Amino acid sequence: MFQVRIHGRGGQGVVTAAEMLSIAAFEEGRHAQAFPSFGSERTGAPVVAFCRIADREIRLREPIMEPDGLIIQDPTLLHQVDVFSGLKLDGYVLINTSRSFEELGIGEVAAGRRAQRRPADRKCSLPASELALKHIGRPVPNAALLGGFAALSGLITLDSVIAAIRDKFSGKVADGNIAAASEAYEYVKREMREDVHA
Amino acid sequence: MDKPFAITLNPGSSLANHTGSWRTTRPVYVDRLPPCNATCPAGENIQGWLLHAESGDYEKAWRALVENNPLPAIMGRACYHPCEGACNRNRLDEAVGINSVERFLGDEAIRNGWRFDKPAASSGKRVLVIGAGPAGLSAAYHLQRLGHQAVIVDAAEHAGGMMRYGIPKYRLPRDIIDAEVQRIVDLGVELRLNTKVTNLAEAMREGFDAAFLGVGAHIAKRAYIPAGDANKVLDAVSVLRGMEGEDTPLLGRHVVVYGGGNTAIDVARTAKRLGAEESIIVYRRTREKMPAHDFEVEDALKEGVSIKWLSTITEAGESDIMVEKMALDANGFPQPTGEYERIEADTLVLALGQDTDLSLLENVPGLVTGNGIVQVDATMMTGHPGVFAGGDMAGNERTITVAVGHGKKAAKAMDAWLRGEKFAPPPKPELATFERLNTWYYSDAPKTMRPVLDIIRRQSTFEEVLGGLDETNAQFEARRCLSCGNCFECDNCYGVCPDNAVIKLGPGNRFKFNYDYCKGCGMCAAECPCGAIAVVAEDI
Amino acid sequence: MLKQCEGSHAVAEAVALCRPEVICAYPISPQTHIVEGLGEMVKDGQLKGCEFINVESEFAAMSVAIGSSATGARTYTATASQGLLFMVEAVFNASGLGLPIVMTVANRAIGAPINIWNDHSDSTSQRDCGWIQLFAETNQEALDLHIEAFKLAEELSLPVMVCMDGFILTHAYERVDMPTQEQVDAFLPPYAPRQVLDPAHPVSIGAMVGPEAFMEVRYLAHAKQMQALELIPRMAKEFEAVFGRTIGGLIHTYRAEDAETMVIAMGSVLGTIKDVIDEMRDAGNKIGVLGITSFRPFPLAAVADALRHCKRFVVLEKSLAVGIGGIVATDVRMAVTGMGLKGYTVIAGLGGRAITKKSLHALFDKATRGELEPVTFLDLDWKVVNKQLERERQHRRSGPVAENILRDLGVVAAKIV
Amino acid sequence: MSFQPIKFYQTGTFTVGNRLLAPQERSVQAGEKRYNSLNSGHRACQGCGEALGARYAIDAAMEACHGKLIAANATGCLEVFSTPYPETSWQIPWVHSLFGNAAAVATGMAAALKVKGQHDIRVVAQGGDGGTTDIGFGCLSGMFERNDDVLYICYDNGGYMNTGVQRSSATPPAARTATTMAVGTEPGNAFGQGKFVPAIAMAHEIPYVATATVADLRDLEYKVTKAMSIRGARYIHILVPCPLGWGTASQDTIRMARLAKETGVFPVFEAEHGEVTAVLKIRKRLPVEEYLKPQKRYAHLFGKQPRVDTIAHIQGLADKNIRKYKLLEEGI
């Protein structure tokens, strides 16, 4: 079972991201369970959403405390919320930013990872908001991040992500998100290749 | 559907619960005596015939009326209608115009030629009725309807008695009298005119089983007034009687009438119509004391008749009379003052009342007379068995309506007497007083004014002064009746019962109470407009 | 048809398939998405022949439902928490009148302190309201139970509450198998009311019943629920025949064969428990699970039968009968009267407190070792509790409990769980 | 000469039956075959105004919809005295749910009829002033605001008579009830409290609002009939004197209602979409004493020292009604 935790702020489509991720997994014939961190949070407040993916029925209802993957939709949360709490050593981390982990002052997180595993293939930063602005016109990074996470984790295919987006949105909004997700997918793939060759 | 136990119930099942057992008082329907009926001298069921009139069935109304009084058209003109004085509606706005509706019905009957129902069976008895005045006509009519053969004899050449010879045309047109007399004759009553009975016993020998005396009062009372022979002194009776003849009496330009009764007024108004410049009534007392009806006085004054109150005539001279002024003493009686005044007078008419000619009654055994009238018992029978009397000759209240009442009363008593019984009038129900009514339910509707002849023609002609009502306003007037004390099926009780405990029996059949459910709240009685429901205590 | 969707959405669609004729809606989390979904389906014509009424309160919602049901319309509404409490008078009335209304309760805690998160306090507070109460373990079961609920309600002429955990199920995206309209029509006949307001056959419904008949009326209500005990398992079979999958029935067990310890619970927490039980079984621990679907009527016989061979049982429930402990536990104890079993009550997950595998492992180990307290409050922060108790011992004016505790805990926003 | 137009008392607005009218023009209550929707055998007090008003109103409604009527009833006297197991006095489909939810239950009934396409069947809800102006007010307002197709009839007897005459928000000022006793410096119910729900109903701008009394039967029937001819939320507020609670004689029930109207204490009017369209004029204006004196609940105003000030205050309220609703031909 693969467990993903998504951090963001109210209004950034965090919950939708988790739901789309579950839909993408469902598209691939797998079992998936997405749920928000229930609460009465309003726009701007830190929120968390969860997604479990497995090949058998998922019965577990507890929150995800030891994620296999982490998607951080808003780097400003890094200093407020213990986003990395419980993250597995071999867990994936995708952060919505145009800056590097080091620049963000979380090099050690990346470092910790890099020490054991092949460099870069488990962490990546992605300017998802910019991609969103470019393709959708609004800084809603969730679809782009899903595209990026598909590339980073290989957990789901880009096609599944696109299908999930189509399930949630329609028309131009869907197209914009799909474009953002696709470019993000390519961006991460490129980043990983470069990292390998570095 | 299979209903859930207890929480769901079948419709109307509460009929099983007889709430009548809660009752401590119970409502009952009653018929109370309306004040109009109570005061009618002719004993008419006024409320009864008004009820038919208001629903537009005039013939039914008329037939209800003539049950008691065969002369509606005459009554509608000449009756002084005490009923209207007693009418409960006076307390609301104005009395119901009973008299005008009565006249309307009478005129309708004449117009449509409605006739009386013939008696079912004949008794074979014959009754002599002396006098074709209101008393005699009424007695004969009722006797005939009761199956007896009535024979009216009268000295005059026309029937009607004082109605014809005492009441001026402008109040009572003669064709009206003729029509209503004829209807009585058509019923089978035998009428012999120009026949004077001088001896009753003799007349009876023709083969009569009983007799009714209704000869009226035709003899003018005289008063001694010193008068020069050139002077012209007449009496009211002969003046009014003279109006019936070919040549009307010549009264001159200045006429003085002495007296204070309705007859004095009639004469004074007649004089005006005959062309008198001055028609003066001299009366020794005040207007308050005057026996004549106020509305008659009013009409007279309107027509230019003048009245000298507190005055007596002491002497009748060549072309004038001497009048002495009177003054009321401490006890309110007029006393001479010694002040005198001369008034121009071509004619002096004395209207001091009338006496009855009792000569025909001499040597009738047992028959008692006194103060100019025949003494009768409660059943109108004189001291002589089988001889009854009524009208002016048998009472001091001398009106047409009283006479008609006498006639009816006597007829009923005679009917009983002829069967060897004694007449006992049925008990009178309780009076429907104003307090018994709930007048909220009556719309405001002021009395209808009858059309009145314009004043010029009233002073010059003998056309009828007071007009009649047309159909709509006659019905309107009838509908102003409050139906005091008698259910008119307004449905109030039926509507206002909170327990649906009033059963409606359909048109004409009124209602009845369903005592199974009546809780005795008394709302029906409280909301009954006409006081036809009484609330009585349940006997425990 | 399989689909990945939100629990609320799944329920809304299932309800729509049941062809409801009147739906009353008053917003309260976490039930809101269900009526929102239905409202949309009515507006866009996807759900035909249905009146969707936005009422001014839950009290009105249940009252409107009473009116429409009594007039022969298949009626649905949903609520939670304070909303359920606000409509209580009408809730009792609906069952008293025997009106087959179906209502979703998206289970949520009851204040004060106000708390929008999940537990079972709302439904269990209505234990005795005369409604049938069915608890769903998964979104699949939630939607299936709604379909069953309408049939059950209308057959018995009793209202049915379908209880599903607020947020945990209502807001969870997971796979469900959505039946077709044909399947639902085949299972659920049109509503044929026991009693109806019809001018052709006038009746008075809701008479005042005095001492002479009230006991009987109440007994009949009880008898009806006893009938439900027979009916529910039969209907579960009919359901399986039409839809090709099982639903709860009265109870359902998991790895209960030869279990010495039986864990008893209701609702979505059963899933987490099952995962734990699997691991303990693998470790050779003879432990099983008994899930209760029908809380009312309470299947005394079935529960007793399921516990026949075990030594002890742990009732883990998301509700607290203040002053005694468990609510479900009390019922279970009644079921096993005289069977000489050791019983433990565990109060867990109140107000949305996460119930984790970790805690459950520790709990069940302790239970199997027979070391558990008769009544346990899972993951209770004793530090905070004792501090407040101490505070109250010391000052008369010790201040508001909830606020004090929050102060003691410090910033909670940063916490993930 | 001219004669006044014919307006016979038998065909005036006042008497019930009007035997001289064509049957179809007569009052419903005069009909030999009237529905008696609230049948005999009910357990209302002697002279109960509510029992009367209910039969008047429901019969008229039945007439208007040809007998296709279903009713929701709030808890209260009417419900208790009409349907004690094992008997009911209702001859129409009728449901009692709770004290405070009659309007909402009726909403549900109307919704059910709508989806079933039974547009010929109509819905009434009824309750006393307690169930309407107090505990049921929320549901009532909701029903108004949604403009549900329901005719709500309030039988106002000015208190909780069923439970032993306690004060409601429809209890008039100075009236004594079990919870506003005639003691202290200001005996009876306080001035300046309570509410006049017809005016609040008008504020919802619903199609039709009317007040009536059991004294003006034809007016009441006319209003019910008119209300039944309209779709949407309608409200009729009927004053129904209560011999028990008012301390009046059982036969005076209608009289008291009449006095309430004639003194201006209770304005009788019609309003459409929030605007007054017609008033029932005062016929013979009377001082409020006429209305207050016969009622024991006002006995404390007429003691050894009559409370002139209080009576004047009540007169002032009546005068205000007369001004506000133009209850006199000439206004005031």
**H-run or E-run covering D291:** helix D288-292
For residues D57-70, average pLDDT = 97
Q: Quote the distance between the C-alpha of residue D111 and its chain's center.
A: 26
**Which one of C205, C223, C243 terminates a domain?**
C243
Flag whether D214 is in a domain.
yes
Residue C167: both structure tokens together: 């947020």
Identify whether the C-beta of residue A56 lies closer than 8 Å to the C-beta of residue A85.
no
Identify whether the C-beta of residue C156 lies closer than 8 Å to the C-beta of residue C224.
yes
Of the candidates C50, C236, C47, C271, the residue with the CA atom closest to the CA atom of residue C164: C271
List helix spans (H) across C71-131.
Answer: 81-86, 88-96, 121-125
Which pLDDT does position B231 carry in this prediction?
64
Flag whether B69 is in a domain.
yes
Q: Are residues B296 and B368 in the same domain?
A: no
Sign of the CA dihedral running C219, C224, C228, C231: positive
Nearest-angstrom CA–CA distance, C348 and A188 = 43
Q: What is the ipTM of this complex?
A: 0.89
Angle (CA) C170 C172 C174, round 5°: 120
Share of chain C above pLDDT 90, in %: 93
Q: Give the bridge partners for B316, in sequence order.
A: B227, B321
Give the pairing of strands B25-29 and B533-537.
antiparallel
D3, pLDDT greater than 50: no
Which pLDDT does position C414 carry in this prediction?
45
Q: How confident is the model at residue A109 (pLDDT cuts 50, 70, 90)?
A: low
Which pLDDT does position D324 carry in this prediction?
95
* Cα→Cα distances D2→B448, B470, B472, Å: 10, 11, 12
CB spacing of C93 vs D72 below 8 angstroms:
no
pTM of the model as a whole: 0.91
Ramachandran quadrant class, C405 (left: phi over 0; alpha: psi -120 to 50; beta: rest):
alpha
* Cα→Cα distances C47→C18, C39, C105, Å: 10, 9, 22
Q: How confident is the model at residue B230 (pLDDT cuts 50, 70, 90)?
A: low
A197, pLDDT greater than 70: no
Domain count, chain D: 1
Flag whether D49 is in a domain.
yes
The position carrying tokens 């208007």 is D64
pLDDT in tens, D92-150: 999 999 999 999 999 999 999 999 999 999 999 999 999 999 999 999 999 999 999 99
* Cα→Cα distances B88→A46, B37, B39, B486, C401, Å: 91, 12, 12, 13, 82
A45, pLDDT greater than 50: yes
Which pLDDT does position C33 carry in this prediction?
95
Which pLDDT does position D173 carry in this prediction?
97
Flag whether D167 is in a domain.
yes
Residue A2: both structure tokens together: 């693969």
Flag whether B8 is in a domain.
no
Q: Which of B1-10, B199-208, C2-11 is predicted least confidently?
A: B1-10
Distant-in-sequence, close-in-space partners of A146: CB < 8 Å, separation ≥ 6:
A17, A20, A21, A24, A71, A161, A164, A165, A181
| C-beta contacts of B259-262 below 8 A and 24+ residues apart | B259/B283, B259/B350, B259/B351, B259/B352, B259/B353, B260/B284, B260/B285, B260/B289, B260/B290, B260/B291, B260/B292, B261/B291, B261/B292, B261/B351, B261/B353, B262/B291, B262/B292, B262/B293, B262/B296
Q: How confident is the model at residue A101 (pLDDT cuts 50, 70, 90)?
A: confident
Domain count, chain C: 3
Q: Are residues C232 and C261 in the same domain?
A: no
CB spacing of B473 vs D251 below 8 angstroms:
no
Identify whether the C-beta of residue B228 lies closer than 8 Å to the C-beta of residue B239.
no
Identify whether the C-beta of residue D151 lies closer than 8 Å to the C-beta of residue D228.
yes
Name the DSSP class of D204: T
Domain count, chain B: 4
Flag whether B426 is in a domain.
no
For all residues of chain D together, what is the average pLDDT?
93
CB pairs under 8 A between B and C: 48
Nearest CB neighbour to C117, from listed A19, A22, A38 = A38
Share of chain C above pLDDT 70, in %: 98
pLDDT in tens, D165-190: 999 999 999 999 999 999 999 999 99
How far C230 CA sits from the closest chain D CA (Å)?
30
**H-run or E-run covering A104:** none
Which burial class, exposed, middle or buried, applies to B379 when counting CB atoms under 10 A from its CB (0-12, 13-18, 19+)?
A: middle
Nearest-angstrom CA–CA distance, B415 and B418 = 5
Q: Are residues B302 and B363 in the same domain?
A: no
Nearest-angstrom CA–CA distance, C413 and C410 = 9
Range of the domain at D321: 29-325
Of the candidates D215, D213, D211, D155, the residue with the CA atom closest to the CA atom of residue D16: D215
Which pLDDT does position A122 carry in this prediction?
85
N residues, chain A: 198
Domains and CATH numbers, chain A: 2-197 (3.40.920.10)
Q: Are residues B350 and B362 in the same domain?
A: no
Q: How confident is the model at residue A112 (pLDDT cuts 50, 70, 90)?
A: low
Identify whether the C-beta of residue A14 lies closer than 8 Å to the C-beta of residue A62.
no
**H-run or E-run covering C180:** none
- B385 at the D interface (CB within 8 A)? no
Sign of the CA dihedral running D79, D83, D88, D92: positive
Nearest-angstrom CA–CA distance, D55 and D72 = 15
3-class SS at B272?
Answer: helix
- Amino acid identity at C323: G
Which pLDDT does position B358 carry in this prediction?
85
Question: Which among B499, B516, B518 is the top mutation candidate for probing chain D, defined by the most D β-carbons within 10 Å of its own β-carbon?
Answer: B499
More confident residue, B507 or C26: C26
pLDDT in tens, C226-279: 999 999 999 999 999 999 999 879 999 999 999 999 999 999 999 999 999 999
CATH of the domain at C141: 3.40.50.970
Q: How confident is the model at residue B7 (pLDDT cuts 50, 70, 90)?
A: confident
A39-58 burial: b if 16+ Cβ within 10 Å, else e: eebeeeebbbbbbbbbeeeb
Residue D254: both structure tokens together: 């209608």
Residue B18: both structure tokens together: 């007889």
B279, pLDDT greater than 60: yes
Nearest CB neighbour to D98, from listed C57, C65, C90 = C90
CB spacing of A82 vs C354 below 8 angstroms:
no
More confident residue, B316 or B90: B90
For all residues of chain C together, what is the average pLDDT?
95
Sign of the CA dihedral running D265, D270, D273, D277: negative
D4, pLDDT greater than 70: no
Residue B484: both structure tokens together: 């005091």
Identify whether the C-beta of residue B105 lies closer than 8 Å to the C-beta of residue B49.
yes
Q: Are residues B245 and B260 in the same domain?
A: yes
Q: Are residues B132 and B192 in the same domain?
A: yes
Question: Which among C26, C62, C63 is the top mutation candidate for probing chain D, defined by the most D β-carbons within 10 Å of its own β-carbon?
Answer: C63
Residue D113: both structure tokens together: 């009829």
Q: Quote the distance between the C-alpha of residue D255 and its chain's center.
A: 15
Flag whether B527 is in a domain.
yes
* Cα→Cα distances B318→B186, B324, B346, Å: 52, 17, 8
Check contact A-D (3+ Cβ pairs < 8 Å): no
Residue C77: both structure tokens together: 């509404």
A131, pLDDT greater than 90: yes
Q: Are residues C237 and C340 in the same domain?
A: no
Which burial class, exposed, middle or buried, applies to C386 when counting CB atoms under 10 A from its CB (0-12, 13-18, 19+)?
A: exposed
Q: Which of B332-341, C337-346, D18-27 is predicted least confidently?
A: D18-27
Range of the domain at B295: 221-354
Q: Are residues B214 and B360 in the same domain?
A: yes
More confident residue, A103 or B110: B110
Name the DSSP class of B166: T
Q: Are residues C55 and C171 in the same domain?
A: yes
**Which one of B301, B332, B354 terminates a domain?**
B354
For residues C195-214, average pLDDT = 94
For residues A13-21, average pLDDT = 96
Identify whether the C-beta of residue A35 lies closer than 8 Å to the C-beta of residue A82.
no
Identify whether the C-beta of residue D154 lies closer than 8 Å to the C-beta of residue D227.
no
Nearest-angstrom CA–CA distance, C107 and C110 = 10
For residues C4-26, average pLDDT = 97
Quote the crossing angle between the two packed helices A14-27 and A142-153, to the nearest 10°.
50
pLDDT in tens, D316-326: 999 999 999 99
Flag whether D12 is in a domain.
no
Q: Give the bridge partners for D96, in sequence order.
A: D73
Which pLDDT does position A50 carry in this prediction?
97
pLDDT in tens, B475-515: 888 888 999 999 999 999 999 999 999 999 998 899 999 99
For residues B284-311, average pLDDT = 91
Nearest CA in chain C to A58: C271
CB atoms within 10 A of CB C157: 18
CATH of the domain at B277: 3.50.50.60
| Chain A residues close to C29, C-beta within 8 Å | 40
3-class SS at D90?
Answer: strand
Which pLDDT does position D39 carry in this prediction?
96
List helix spans (H) across A83-197.
Answer: 107-116, 128-135, 142-153, 158-168, 171-197
For residues D190-203, average pLDDT = 96
pLDDT in tens, B123-159: 999 999 999 999 999 999 999 999 999 999 999 999 9
Q: Give the bridge partners for C51, in sequence order.
A: C22
**Which one of C221, C243, C265 terminates a domain?**
C243
3-class SS at B314?
Answer: strand
CATH of the domain at B512: 3.30.70.20
Range of the domain at C13: 2-243
Q: Which of B219-233, B387-401, C336-350 is predicted least confidently?
A: B219-233
Considering only residues 128 to 147 of chain D, which have any Cβ-Cβ distance to chain C shorter than 8 Å? Answer: 138-139, 141-142, 145-146
Which burial class, exposed, middle or buried, applies to A137 when counting CB atoms under 10 A from its CB (0-12, 13-18, 19+)?
A: exposed
Q: Are residues B95 and B43 in the same domain?
A: yes
Q: Are residues B107 and B144 in the same domain?
A: no
Q: How confident is the model at residue D18 (pLDDT cuts 50, 70, 90)?
A: confident
CATH of the domain at D66: 3.40.50.970
CB pairs under 8 A between C and D: 161
For residues C393-417, average pLDDT = 74
Of the candidates A7, A9, A158, A159, the residue with the CA atom closest to the CA atom of residue A69: A7
Chains with at least 3 CB pairs less than 8 angstroms from chain D:
B, C
pLDDT in tens, B48-57: 999 999 888 9
Check contact D-B (3+ Cβ pairs < 8 Å): yes
CB spacing of C118 vs A37 below 8 angstroms:
no
Flag whether B3 is in a domain.
no
